[in-house]
A and B are shown apart, each in its own frame.
Chain A
């Protein structure tokens, strides 16, 4: 079936380095892609989104890149900090499917001091 998935289940980076978390998707009809961060014991927290007609969007220390040709999405975190340690999910939404997110499997980011 249609799905949104992740390449790497665990990513370990050194504090201060940049992190790149990848996500593959299969549904070309997606309207938006969203990255969420989930810390232990908490619900997912919105990080950044990108509309399907965009290639790149930047936020504070984060950048999302969308490559529609290969159906690939990435989240780049600059100068990774210990507080960035969490599980990161990509999600997609189709507006005509209602307010429903389809989540990928998640990548655990571990930041080494």
Chain B
């Protein structure tokens, strides 16, 4: 069974551009969450999607958005990139979106975004 797949693995953008990251959850998983990881702020929750609906959202500006498709694949978009958006963006999936402790969250290896 394939794990969580994130593409691309690395991405370099310049300030002001926008970027789209993709996440394919484990087959059968319907919940997809996104996290941002930086050395300074650690791991921070961005948002969670379940059955194509955003269910939870973290404290990030509106430049950060996402969506989920009917096949549970998810994309996140960051518009008007800033230097501080440089980070590892992690996607995680779980089967039905219950508490992670009951349905372990499976993380992908992330997309490393560098903003120059």
Chain B residues 62-113 with CB under 8 Å of chain A are 90, 92, 94, 97-101, 104-110
Chain B residues 19-74 with CB under 8 Å of chain A are 31, 33, 35, 42-45, 48, 50, 55-56, 58
Whole-angstrom CA separation of A46 from B101 in the bound complex: 9
Chain B contacts of A34 at CB under 8 A?
A: 100-101
Stretch at the interface among A10-18, A20-28, A71-79, A102-110: A102-110
Nearest Cβ on chain B to A64's Cβ, whole angstroms: 11
Chain A: interface residue total (CB-CB under 8 A): 25
A93 and B107 within 8 A (CB)? no
A93-B99, A95-B99 in contact; A43/B110 too (CB < 8 A)? Answer: yes
B4 and A105 within 8 A (CB)? no
Chain B contacts of A45 at CB under 8 A?
A: 107
Chain B contacts of A98 at CB under 8 A?
A: 48, 55-56
Whole-angstrom CA separation of A31 from B109 in the bound complex: 27
B42 and A100 within 8 A (CB)? no
A43 and B109 within 8 A (CB)? yes
A41 and B109 within 8 A (CB)? yes
Interface residues of B (CB under 8 A from A): 4, 31, 33, 35, 42-45, 48, 50, 55-56, 58, 90, 92, 94, 97-101, 104-110
Taking A43-B4, A101-B100 as given, write out 5 further A-B residue pairs in contact, using a Cβ cutoff of 8 Å, ordered by the A residue number. A34-B100, A41-B109, A44-B107, A99-B50, A101-B105
